[in-house]
Structure 1
Amino acid sequence: MASLAGLVIGALIVVLALPKLADYNLLPNMQDNENVQIEPAKEQKKGQNVSLNVTTDVTKAVDKAQDAVVGITNIQSGNFWEGESSQPAGTGSGVIYKKTGDKAYVVTNNHVVEGAQQLEVTLSDGTKVPAKLRGTDIWSDLAVVEMDGTKVKKVAEFGDSDALKIGEPVLAIGNPLGLEFSGSVTQGVISGLERAIPVDVNGDNVVDWQAEVLQTDAAINPGNSGGALVNIAGQVIGINSMKIAEQSVEGIGLSIPINFAKPIIDSLETKGKMVRPAMGVTLRNVNEIPSYHQQETLKLPKNITDGAMVEQVYPNTPASKAGLQEFDVIVQLDNQKVHDILELRKYMYTKKQVGDQMEVHFYRNGKLKKETMTLTSEGTM
């Protein structure tokens, strides 16, 4: 009986002390969460629905970036002889990144606008605005579109993709499966940084380029191309570009890092193209040439089985001025060995600029030679 009485007295003391403890903020706040703010609802009558105004870091990021993401409709001409009129060939997404005076500029993917006779931008409120292509770059899969900016209310803020960490939360915003799902938001994390993805640019089933992209598990579907990958601060840190679509693959979305994209975007806006260095040659991979011709035609040493063979040298180009000839086999640029056209192109496009000098090491008639050329922006490769 004594122990029962003690329990009752203890409970009464706690009950009586609670209000005072609360007055002095000595009680823990069970709803304390710096990332979630829930606005208390007004007193509800029995039978009424209860609504909450929930604000999180995610909803803040969406509010900041969503209206800067637009839909892009690629309109192509139909068959005139069959009476077909111009019609949408496809839709994608884009990001409004700049507004100057009465013009606004949108970055998207090259494959979204490719082949378009007309372009139309659909703003987040459904307003449709005619647009025109400012510039495209097939190697980065980026394009810039210009439009009337008088109805544009929101411009995206670019973040720092070099500061990203694996596991960092991100949001993909775009128009999957067409404009019916405009402004869709999916959430995920950064799954990988600097992923090298082989790209066949001209559709000949030969890898022409390796795109360095961000990997995310945020759902990216057809129509999301050109849309924004956004960090938790609402800043665009990537332009969504590709998805590996296979039955056995799930949750691998790819996005062009915004730090890589920014100089290309600037060049497309101001010059209509991305200016890259060129030698003025066409090339062929040595490993695609039969071993007989490697030995008899190119006269390569037996231990040389790869490199980039010169098929043609264009006149008045760095290559012609340096004395390169047909059937020369390039095996090294400066101090970088090159085993194929892909490695050669990657070195030139990422390490050299127009006006730079470059040492070219090549085999001619079985002998290793070296020439120096000054790169220009004219011509191929």
Structure 2
Amino acid sequence: MPSKFVGVLIIALIVIVGAAILVPMIMGFLGYTSYPQISASSATTKTVTVTTTNPSYTTTLTTTYIIGNRSYDAAIIFKLASPSVVQVTVYDKNFQQLALGSGFVYDDQGHVITNNHVVEGGNYFIIVTYDNAMYEAKLVGRDTYADLAVLKAGLSPKYPPLKLADTVIIGEPVYAIGSPFGLSGSITSGIVSQVNRTGITYVPMLQTDAAINPGNSGGPLLNSRGEVVGVATAGIEKSVAEGVGFAVPSTIVKRIVPQLITNGVYKHPYIGIYGEYLDPIIASTYGLPKDITSGFIITQIARNSPAEKSGLKVKDVIVAVDDYPIRKDPDLNYLMAYKYSPGDKIVITVIRDGKTVNISLTLAERP
């Protein structure tokens, strides 16, 4: 029976400048009971201070780089993580294979994380482990906006959960393990190329040059300590670009997955605006005052949305949300992803007809 690989969204390299359907995620983190770890009590550690922009306002993050015998190479990472990585095969109601992707063990309750586009449209799911054991699984929950899904199977305890990383550092080595083109247990390597990329899903994504091919989707992107920094999701077609792939960040996974397990869905907040980010050239095309060189200009407002009810108007230029400045992509998406949820009250500061106006609104649930 021919198989169809829907393990990766093959995408064109498109600059998306007009999307402002705001999609955040703010939920608790589900704890873990045990993780595969390699002991190295004599490890050398170095504490460094990293200053990052998130994205237009500055925060200081202090983290610990683990170097020497605690920073593992690809062979050890594979040995460490592969027992927790699975292949996901999806069948429709007529028992025809729809897709083949990857996933990884999330907790000791048998929950497995994968991508929504892997399981979408499926009725039956088979999980195959690294040692070729097969388990029937059921779909627990999925989120189309972040392209995440959770399956559950009666897995043996010998398949331990992988730990989700708390931080990611641009330039750090990463490893993708999965089943590209059905070749289970494959590992590729690269680095974290950048963070907070938009236009792939409705949440900010990690960018990596580690090879992500059809079949990799849903598999883990791991750092050099065997922690999951992202869920492999998409790769740009090689005829368009080389070494450009994307993953859902672990920090987003931590917010969404517990709700998928508990409720089957994740509720995203919603403002109901469309538009584009400004630079001096784009601002001039709208006839805006010369002192407006950045921000987000509203070009369309959804009917019956919080934006419409609050009095936001087309050609309003958003320059801040609460105390956070809005200057460039992905400022709005980042804030909505990490700071807000449905029901939150926010104050949006706009420039309207050359004057500063504060608009209060309550975020709704995304329809």
- Report deviation, 1:214: 4.0
Q: Secondary structure at the match of 1:261?
A: helix
Gaps of 5+ in 2: 1-41, 44-71, 279-284
1:92 and 1:175 in contact (8 A); partners too: yes
Change (3 A) 1:368 1:312: farther
How do residues 243-322 of structure 1 correspond to structure 2 at under 5 angstroms?
A: 243-247=235-239, 249-279=241-271, 281=272, 283=274, 307-314=297-304, 318-319=306-307
Is the radius of gyration larger for structure 1 or structure 2? 1
Could you tell me which runs of 5 or more consecutive residues in structure 1 were left unpaired when the two chains were aligned.
1-33, 36-55, 78-84, 202-208, 288-293
Give the Cα–Cα distance (whole angstroms) in 1 for the partners of residues 351 and 134 of structure 2: 57
- Distance, in Å, in 2 between the alignment partners of 1:345 and 1:165 is 19
CA distance in 1, matches of 2:77, 2:330: 38
Q: 1:338 and 1:97 mapped to 2: Cα distance?
A: 35
Q: Quote the residue 2:167 is aligned against.
A: 162
- Asked if 1:132 corresponds to 2:175, the answer is no
Higher relative contact order (CA 8 A, sep 6+): 2
What does residue 177 of structure 2 align with?
173
Q: Deviation per CA, 1:166-219: give whole Å up to 9, x if none.
A: 253x332111102xx211223x232424162532x5xxxxxxx463304133x3
Aligned to 1:213: 206
Partner SS for 2:108 = strand
Q: TM-score, normalised by structure 2?
A: 0.64
Deviation at 1:241, TM superposition (A): 1.7
Aligned twin of 1:198: 199
Q: Distance between the aligned counterparts of 2:240 and 2:354, measured in 1?
A: 48
Q: Which residue of 2 aligns with 1:90?
A: 99
Paired residue type of 2:318: V
Call closer, same or farther: CA 1:338–1:76 in 2, change over 3 Å: farther
Q: Output the amino acid matched with 1:66.
A: S
Higher helix share: 1
TM-score norm. by structure 1 comes to 0.62
Alignment of 1:98-117 (within 5 A): 98-100=107-109, 104-117=110-123
Quote how far apart the aligned CAs of 1:161 are. 5.4
Change (3 A) 1:57 1:190: closer
**Percent identity over paired residues:** 29
Tell me, in whole angstroms, the C-alpha distance in 2 between the residues paired with 1:340 and 1:163: 22
SS in 2 for 1:198: coil
Deviation at 1:356, TM superposition (A): 3.1
Letter in 2 for 1:211: P
Structure 2 vs 1, CA of residues 62 and 327 (structure 1 numbering), >3 Å: closer, same or farther? closer
State the superposition RMSD in angstroms.
Answer: 3.8
2 CA distance for matches of 1:285 and 1:232?
37
SS in 1 for 2:337: helix
**Conservation of the 8 A alpha-carbon contact between 2:105 and 2:113:** yes
Matched with 2:345 is 357
* 309 and 335 in structure 1: CA distance in 2 versus 1, 3 angstrom threshold: farther
Q: Aligned to 1:334, which of 316, 319, 322?
A: 322
Are 1:227 and 2:219 counterparts? yes
SS of structure 1 residue aligned to 2:269: coil
Residues 104, 113 of structure 2: 8 Å contact kept:
yes
Give the Cα separation in 2 of the matches to 1:284 and 1:166: 32
Give the AA of the match of 1:374: T
What's the offset of the Cα at 1:88? 1.0
- Is the contact between residue 277 and residue 352 of structure 1 (CA under 8 Å) also seen in structure 2? yes
- Structure 1 residues 341 and 115: CA distance shift in structure 2, 3 A: farther
Aligned to 2:311: 324
Partner Cα separation in structure 1 for residue 92 and residue 259 of structure 2: 26
Pairs aligned (count)? 289
Runs ≥4 residues deviating over 6 A: 300-306, 339-342, 363-368
The answer to whether structure 1 residue 238 and structure 2 residue 238 are counterparts is: no
Of 53, 65, 88 in structure 1, the residue corresponding to residue 81 of structure 2 is 65
**Counterpart position of 2:90:** 74
Please say if residues 73 and 224 of structure 2, whose CA atoms lie closer than 8 Å, have aligned partners that are also in contact: yes
